[in-house]
A and B are shown apart, each in its own frame.
Chain A
């Protein structure tokens, strides 16, 4: 019985760790995507300039 309980706890613990890792990874992916979006927006703002008369 104890062995079974121990196994269940181990499974639950591993599942919780896995979920936590997945959650952290998801947050990380969203964070990364947001960062990529921000980077593109900043690059766009920095580089898209209207034509200017030079003199």
Chain B
């Protein structure tokens, strides 16, 4: 498929110069023929006359022959010189834009900058840019035959053609779905973390609570948080307001919603942009397929959220108290093993994971809703602290948490899930959280999430050393 031409003026030495050369040769040849014809005509007319006329006829005849012979030699030499000049500039410009382009590509690769659309999730090396004057779309605003450092739009507007000249300040859009993009969607280091889980496991509450806690803790981590887009900020503020008034976030309807972007800027460093995804649990199979397929090259890790109240052992354990709070707890309808099997199938089908291979990206297994009943005591901080105290060998908080949660999953008859997780995923860590902090009770008391940031920071730390250092500092 041929790409449409750029709405820009091509360098003279890459197009028009050669057309001009051809036109010059054609016109000078035509002029030579006309001049020769005139002189031959004069010679023919004068030759039969007197001596003087004969002499003039000789003059005209030799002039005509000279125009043809020397004219041809002359235009051959001049055309050669012309072509050499054109080719020299062509070569210089070619070398110039190739060097600038390669420098830019190398720099962007070194900084790990690339474009990812938060809407269609496509990764592309470059977005399409709008001319700020006429709105024309420039699909390849890079150092090229249209200009080394700048392209000139057909409207006459000069556009920066490289990252180094603030090209990112131009309005841009996704080459695939044409959604508007911000500079941060291209010029930033990115981390991509989807939150998977069945319906009603609390993914939306988890995501917004994690973002809320990250924003609160970001200054302490030397990061300045900001939103790339007003609509994301508005959505965040709306959900935070709901949570602050004791209302859980609405159910996600879109199987593959727009990524939730949060920008984290540290002075002297390139900004980090998080792409967090909260796909609807119902369209689980298709959704993961899409997500994993799209992010095959750049997934940072995934959070697998488990609703303990989908587990028969937990339902049995709390069977006397569960009916009274079922509406508030909203146990997920999808069994945990089914949810994880679907993730695995999707990985194999869409992520290129071989049936006997291990998923290399970190997987945070997070048991949600630990605010219910006495789950916090069983697998929350008290249980972890007790494990640390009881351990004969020094054990870190994270290791103790892994042990406690893993053992509890085994006690809840989830050995097959644990076994599958550990067999198929190279890096698994277990967490617990309460994405609302308490059960919804119809009051307007604010929800205060617990333990939602740790899984995210663990994945981010493995994906980007900037977060590792900060994690250590925070610890």
Contacts and interface: CB of A to CB of B under 8 A. Distances in A.
B63 A37 contact: no
Residue of B58, B67, B154, B156 with most chain A CB atoms under a 10 A cut-off:
B67
A29 B32 contact: no
A40 B70 contact: no
A35 B67 contact: yes
B66 A33 contact: yes
A40 B74 contact: yes
Contact of B32 (A28, A30, A39, A44): A39
Contact of A29 (B9, B10, B11, B66): B66
Interface residues of B, number: 42
A24 to B, nearest CB: 5
24 contacts: A21-B55, A25-B62, A28-B59, A32-B36, A32-B66, A32-B67, A32-B71, A33-B67, A33-B74, A35-B32, A35-B35, A36-B67, A36-B71, A39-B28, A39-B32, A39-B35, A40-B78, A42-B28, A44-B28, A46-B23, A46-B24, A46-B27, A47-B20, A55-B155
B163 interface: no
Residue of B59, B60, B75 with most chain A CB atoms under a 10 A cut-off:
B59
A49 B15 CA distance: 12
Contacts of A25: 58-59, 62
A27 interface: yes
Interface class of chain A by DSSP: helix
Interface in B15-41: 16, 20, 23-28, 31-32, 35-36, 39
Contacts of B58: 21, 24-25, 28
B65 A43 contact: no
Nearest to A33: B70
B12 interface: yes
A33 B65 CA distance: 10
Given A35-B35, A50-B12, 19 more contacts: A25-B59, A26-B62, A28-B62, A28-B65, A28-B66, A29-B66, A32-B36, A32-B69, A36-B74, A40-B24, A43-B24, A43-B25, A43-B27, A43-B28, A44-B82, A51-B9, A51-B12, A51-B16, A51-B152
B20 A36 contact: no
Contact of A53 (B12, B64, B152): B152
A28 B61 contact: yes
Nearest to B39: A32
